[in-house]
Chains A and B, each alone.
Chain A
């Protein structure tokens, strides 16, 4: 907490110092007062480096009034328990031996904290004695938050990439263990990878929050031209239930399989078959369960498969 402002001898001295300062360095003082960079000057000749000048940006950054700042020791904003490394760097700069960038945790008048990048420069008189310190402050809070957000996004992206690679591994393994014909295997792998890719596009449009079941179905069936040319042969009944991303990805591939099968051997393999897709929600002890039905009618006569596969 800030000490209650009082007009001590120290502060009066400080004010006199500022007045002199203003007289001698007029235009520089005006620019220091008005710049958007928060800055203070301290009196190096007194113990604790009391602040003798603070610009408007500094007051805006910290929430203090000017008379609450003037006369305070330079370190009055330092948050208790701040890193000793940062404190050592401040001390090194005050000793005239700056030691790298200073990032230090400060508090505002309302006790909220902010991470500041601080630059401390000694001001010397004609006899090379340090008479003041000039310090500038940049609020790094937003920068740090943005950095943390970016790191979280990178981690999430990495997680997604690794899971996608494992999914691709699953697709390739599954096809290769059941399909001896290389050309058929290639087509099956491609078909599934493109289905995965279209589901990714859908999820990206939804910011990876999830996707509606109708949208997943439409996205999966789009390349088969079913929605447009065979609309009368496909009926869809059910609400656009929201599913989390991973479930949506799996459903996209499942619909791709069902549609591939329907086009090759099922209801879409002739000119009159129809497909009815419907779903409903049933409450169970473990939560809601969606029951999905894919029903093909009037397709070609079913021939028992030679091999069992994924489709």
Chain B
């Protein structure tokens, strides 16, 4: 299943540096070719608009603020993505209910599985 991830360009939007480093490491282990990251919604939207990504993962909460604008930009550019969140009960925003949600902390296998699933769609 992880073959979907080999050579992929991934965007990671996450505001906790240590968690971001871990995710980057996990993605490198999965064979992803390049990983771009952003910890602020504005920078993430700019990356989505000016660069091309095969897949993305998006923290729903960036420094206490919603990252809905990034989700909308990803959807507008048809970049498949998964959400990540520290909330265990939060519902996904309207219009994004079909996106997978990784709940922190998540396992390497969960990350690999959900990214592969959205890429295989």
Show 11 residue pairs from A and B whose CB-CB distance is below 8 angstroms, ordered by the A residue.
A162-B88, A163-B19, A165-B104, A166-B16, A168-B105, A169-B22, A170-B22, A244-B63, A246-B16, A250-B16, A286-B40
**Is there an interface contact between A249 and B16, defined as CB atoms closer than 8 Å?**
yes
**Is there an interface contact between A158 and B63, defined as CB atoms closer than 8 Å?**
no
**Is there an interface contact between B18 and A250, defined as CB atoms closer than 8 Å?**
yes
Q: Give the chain B neighbours of A169 by CB distance below 8 A.
A: 22, 105
Docked CA distance A143–B104 (Å): 32
Q: How many residues of B contact A (CB 8 A)?
A: 23
Question: From residue B49, how far is it (CB to closest CB) to chain A in Å?
Answer: 14
**Is there an interface contact between A246 and B86, defined as CB atoms closer than 8 Å?**
no
B17 within 8 A of A: yes
Q: Give the chain A neighbours of B64 by CB distance below 8 A.
A: 244
**Is there an interface contact between B18 and A162, defined as CB atoms closer than 8 Å?**
no
Question: From residue B101, how far is it (CB to closest CB) to chain A in Å?
Answer: 12
Nearest A residue to B103, CB-CB: A162
Docked CA distance A250–B16 (Å): 7
Docked CA distance A244–B40 (Å): 12
Q: Give the chain B neighbours of A295 by CB distance below 8 A.
A: none
**Is there an interface contact between B86 and A173, defined as CB atoms closer than 8 Å?**
no
A167 within 8 A of B: yes
Docked CA distance A167–B15 (Å): 11
CB-CB contacts of A152-189 with B at 8 A, as 1s and 0s? 00010011111101111111011001000000000000
- 9 pairs of A and B residues whose beta carbons are closest in the complex: A170-B22, A250-B17, A162-B86, A166-B105, A166-B104, A159-B86, A170-B18, A163-B86, A169-B105
**Is there an interface contact between A286 and B42, defined as CB atoms closer than 8 Å?**
yes
Do A165 and B63 contact each other (CB < 8 Å), given the known contacts A158-B87, A246-B16, A250-B18? no
A39 within 8 A of B: no
**Is there an interface contact between A171 and B86, defined as CB atoms closer than 8 Å?**
no
**Is there an interface contact between A163 and B25, defined as CB atoms closer than 8 Å?**
no
Q: Give the chain B neighbours of A244 by CB distance below 8 A.
A: 63-64
Do A158 and B88 contact each other (CB < 8 Å), given the known contacts A166-B104, A166-B105, A286-B42? yes
Docked CA distance A170–B40 (Å): 20
CB-CB contacts of B1-27 with A at 8 A, as 1s and 0s? 000000000000001111101100100
B43 within 8 A of A: yes
B61 within 8 A of A: yes
Q: Which of A163, A167, A168, A169 has the largest count of B CB atoms less than 10 A from its CB?
A: A163
Docked CA distance A158–B87 (Å): 7
**Is there an interface contact between A170 and B19, defined as CB atoms closer than 8 Å?**
yes
Question: From residue B109, how far is it (CB to closest CB) to chain A in Å?
Answer: 13
**Is there an interface contact between B87 and A165, defined as CB atoms closer than 8 Å?**
no
Question: From residue B85, how far is it (CB to closest CB) to chain A in Å?
Answer: 8
A253 within 8 A of B: yes
Q: Give the chain A neighbours of B25 by CB distance below 8 A.
A: 173-174, 177
Question: From residue B50, how far is it (CB to closest CB) to chain A in Å?
Answer: 13
Nearest A residue to B90, CB-CB: A155
Q: Give the chain B neighbours of A155 by CB distance below 8 A.
A: 87, 89
User: Which single member of B46, B63, B87 contacts A162 (CB below 8 Å)?
Assistant: B87
Q: Which of B16, B46, B61 has the largest count of A CB atoms less than 10 A from its CB?
A: B16
Docked CA distance A166–B19 (Å): 6
Question: From residue B15, how far is it (CB to closest CB) to chain A in Å?
Answer: 5
User: Which single member of B22, B40, B63, B104 contacts A174 (CB below 8 Å)?
Assistant: B22
Docked CA distance A253–B87 (Å): 24
Q: Give the chain B neighbours of A168 by CB distance below 8 A.
A: 105
Q: For residues 213 through 243 of chain A, which have their beta carbon under 8 Å from a beta carbon of chain B? A: none
Question: From residue B69, how far is it (CB to closest CB) to chain A in Å?
Answer: 15
CB-CB contacts of B101-120 with A at 8 A, as 1s and 0s? 00111100000000000000
Docked CA distance A92–B43 (Å): 58
Nearest A residue to B16, CB-CB: A246
Q: For residues 14 through 68 of chain B, which have their beta carbon under 8 Å from a beta carbon of chain A? A: 15-19, 21-22, 25, 40, 42-43, 46, 61, 63-64
